[in-house]
Structure 1
């Protein structure tokens, strides 16, 4: 449709707002059902280009949510669902992302009806919808190329998928239950103990998977996933994610500009990292809120520096305690297992080095609030780890 082509060209490839207004005006004046169908087609093309540059559905929605607004997120989800119709099948992680985003299927009756049904859903005028579409297109076309963590949909999967062990679903259910209890309790020592128990279960499962792979029962190789690291306090959150990754024999590489970390490891360990990081973030935020309330009750006002110091100290100390839990389980398994685990560590490191040949380390800055650091360390230091002597301050 020529009018849509003119609108997209005027808005998407122009730096200023004048082209955006012109494009939106052209779209609003076009026959709306035809314009909606053509916007879907062009949007699918922009989404497909994002896939070719290494992006995945959750990545796209995350960056759109960060940089635009909720309407753009809904439109992006529509375009992802529309583009997904092209593919007979996708990788398991891709399918899981589509389910989480509710983008596995289109919600509208047909592309010819999309524009009218969209206007009903959004309850706004054509010009506003056209502007939102063009802003989204502009954002999608400017996404940079990133390291792929799996084949784009439509391409064959050359890596043999992870074969779950017989007890894996039951183990994950137990881990989720332990972490849910840790998030729900108001007692830091109980939360720490529950989290440590979950880490021990995950470490034992990782060892079992390593043994099966060493015996030739599975064809697992290291893979990767991306996990969002959102503002505020993203530096502390990246440290927390790195702690969860290291404790589970993975490596995390943070992209601060795009707001995510890429975690490299074997598939069972990646799932453990995702579960653990999400729970630790909930627990750390709750502990920080309680610490701030206690400070305010004592007549002190705390600032951003307190929260940054708290979460950084929390992440640092939790990392040590998670590693202790993993080392404890490894010691129990016996020294004969060490060559198997070392080989997997080398494989993960090699995959990470090939994906990220140029990484940099940076010094953590801005941790200047002593009280925040003390409270954050205490929040991570309250509990007795299972099988370990208690830690006292």
Structure 2
């Protein structure tokens, strides 16, 4: 066995600091093993792709379970591994751009320890549902928003996030949703898109208050003709739908989460100015009410969205296709009990914030957790 084999055998499959120290000591004393150690990291990253993981998924997990410098080590591995492929699958370029740009260095023992900690996490990754092709394999490019439309929608949502006037945020967000809904109907009406099939995307649902965030994402997914399944253990929701609808969900979730967090911060400041100290229960209640209220408004908005009569069979077919794909990916889902809101002020403030961030769209009932 090589030095790298000995170090990995000592550190990766046994818990505890002693095994890490043993492996790191072997590597620190063998500078000539560095290239092979890096190659093993590329192999682990490649195995992660084959198990269904994407760059953003790995980065999210490492950020949650390890330290910032592990994220820098991971980013270096991912970029080097992805550089070996030709054209990357859809969404991967954006995920690579979002990786930590830094490069971490330290003394040999500390560096070896960090690498082994990262490899220990990577070697134990479970397989998850595939939501796209593995790099290096053939794929059909997805069709989504054309760049000018996407830029316009992003600009509207950015303004909604930046304004301090609730009425303006409501108008801007509603206009963005209107453009999304119109684009979805236009795309469904085009003959070249009749043969399209649903795809899927994973969206991070980070702590704290992840239950409320998952409910918000579920409501937005329903409004845009998608289905959402939350994996609380791994910190993400998988959204199944047609590509342009998935883009709409990602854009709206990001924007409405920013708007909700901003509104919560303002509400807390007002409460403190009034002499009341806010707690975690206020924030939990606020975001839960915000998510539930948005869901109610999205459900009512369904009645106001009308497609041409000749397009209804196409939309029905697409809905069946999304449901079938979701059932294929997640044949076994379970419901989860959500912690209730216990702060009355937080609940009312959250509902008011949701009213200010109202959007229009379509909604269908789907709730689940892996």
Note if contact 2:188-2:194 (Cα within 8 Å) is conserved in structure 1: no
The Cα of 1:320 is off from its aligned counterpart by 2.9
Question: Which one of the candidate residues 158, 161, 168 is aligned to 1:190?
Answer: 168
Number of the residue aligned with 2:181: 203
Number of the residue aligned with 1:290: 266
Note if contact 2:143-2:243 (Cα within 8 Å) is conserved in structure 1: no
Note if contact 1:250-1:265 (Cα within 8 Å) is conserved in structure 2: yes
| Alignment map for 1:21-32 (pairs within 5 Å) | 21-31=21-31
Question: Which one of the candidate residues 226, 233, 247 is aligned to 1:257?
Answer: 233
Number of the residue aligned with 2:107: 125
Number of the residue aligned with 2:83: 85
Number of the residue aligned with 1:110: none
Note if contact 1:162-1:218 (Cα within 8 Å) is conserved in structure 2: no
2-structure distance, mates of 1:384, 1:164: 24
**Alpha-carbon displacement from aligned partner over 1:121-155 (angstroms, at most 9, x marks no partner):** 53521111000000000000111110010121122
Note if contact 1:310-1:374 (Cα within 8 Å) is conserved in structure 2: yes
Note if contact 1:189-1:384 (Cα within 8 Å) is conserved in structure 2: no
SS of residue in 1 equivalent to 2:201: strand
Give unmatched runs, 5+ long, in structure 1: 108-120, 388-393
Number of the residue aligned with 1:19: 19
Q: Identify the range of structure 1 (85-94 vs 13-22) with the bigger mean alpha-carbon deviation.
A: 85-94
Change (3 A) 1:49 1:384: closer
**Alpha-carbon displacement from aligned partner over 1:206-227 (angstroms, at most 9, x marks no partner):** 1111111xx2455421000100
Note if contact 1:200-1:325 (Cα within 8 Å) is conserved in structure 2: no
The Cα of 1:382 is off from its aligned counterpart by 3.4
**Alpha-carbon displacement from aligned partner over 1:28-71 (angstroms, at most 9, x marks no partner):** 1112xx33211210101111111111111110111001100111
Q: TM-score, normalised by structure 1?
A: 0.87
2-structure distance, mates of 1:377, 1:52: 43
1-structure distance, mates of 2:43, 2:266: 48
Question: Which one of the candidate residues 50, 63, 66 is aligned to 1:65?
Answer: 63
Note if contact 2:205-2:214 (Cα within 8 Å) is conserved in structure 1: yes
Q: TM-score, normalised by structure 2?
A: 0.92
Change (3 A) 1:89 1:47: same
Question: Which one of the candidate residues 149, 157, 163 is aligned to 1:179?
Answer: 157
The Cα of 1:323 is off from its aligned counterpart by 4.4
Number of the residue aligned with 1:224: 200
Number of the residue aligned with 1:112: none
Number of the residue aligned with 1:118: none
1-structure distance, mates of 2:359, 2:338: 28
The Cα of 1:170 is off from its aligned counterpart by 2.0
Number of the residue aligned with 1:272: 248
Give unmatched runs, 5+ long, in structure 2: 362-370
2-structure distance, mates of 1:164, 1:278: 18
Note if contact 2:131-2:200 (Cα within 8 Å) is conserved in structure 1: yes
2-structure distance, mates of 1:180, 1:383: 13
| Alignment map for 1:83-122 (pairs within 5 Å) | 83-101=81-99, 121-122=103-104
Note if contact 1:21-1:131 (Cα within 8 Å) is conserved in structure 2: yes
Number of the residue aligned with 1:10: 10
Q: Please state if 1:162 is matched with 2:160.
A: no
2-structure distance, mates of 1:164, 1:81: 25
